[in-house]
Amino acid sequence: MDGSQGDLYEPRLQASDVRRFLSDNPEFLTGDDGLLDELGLKVAAGGNVVEFAPAAMARIHAAHQQEASQRQYLEETARANFSAQAQAHGAVVDLLDARNHSDLARRVDDLAQQRFGLAAGVIALEIDGHPPAGWKMLVEGQVDMILGGSQRLARMGFAPTALGLFGERAEAIASMAMVRMAIWEPSRQGLLAFGSTDPQGFTEDMGTELVAFLARVVERTAERWPLL
């Protein structure tokens, strides 16, 4: 093998070699201010000890602060999730205790205001005639119109077409959460709707899992009693 080929196989520099070199030639590091700055180090007053520079300490402090902030965020998120789950479980118990359709509608409105701090909770049904007491009447196709299409199962945010659901409280409603329901057999289209006075109470980018879960509970509970 000639010299040019041998150059391709030069041994790699080992950490032990670097350590030995710096031990034998400390001035290589202590005398190079640029390298010290790049490494975040400085030479102590005695001239023979290398210390962490303030910049390095600042980076460590910043990393610690970021870690603490992330931990706090995770803890707050976990507490919020736990609280939401607890409220949801309590809401389900309340709904399952309903005695009839009218009581179910009242309980939906009560849990919206008392458990979730909202302005209103409404059950609406497409029906040719009178809906159950306490329920809002919708005409055929109105659920699709409110949700924005026959394929949409839920809608979050503000929908002007849904204001009529909230009756005399409509003027105070600034955002809504609405989920399609199908009740009885043959199924009738309905809506479970919650209204908030806060424009950011419900936004389009929010998940619908909790509201959809409550809608399923309302469906099953309403089916206990026949539609008269």
pLDDT in tens, 93-126: 999 999 999 999 999 999 999 989 999 999 999 9
Cα(23)–Cα(42) distance, integer angstroms: 17
157-210 pLDDT per residue, tens: 999 999 999 999 999 999 999 999 999 988 899 999 999 999 999 999 998 988
Alpha helices in 97-141 (DSSP H): 101-114
In the predicted model, what is the mean pLDDT of the chain? 83
The secondary element (H helix, E strand) that includes residue 38 is helix 33-39
Token pair belonging to 208: 């619908």
Which CATH code is given to the segment(s) 99-222? 3.30.450.40
- The residues facing 55 across adjacent strands are none
pLDDT tens digits for 52-107? 556 566 666 677 777 777 777 777 766 766 666 777 788 899 999 999 999 999 99
| Separation CA 85–CA 117 (nearest Å) | 15
Q: Where are the domains of the chain?
A: 3-52, 99-222
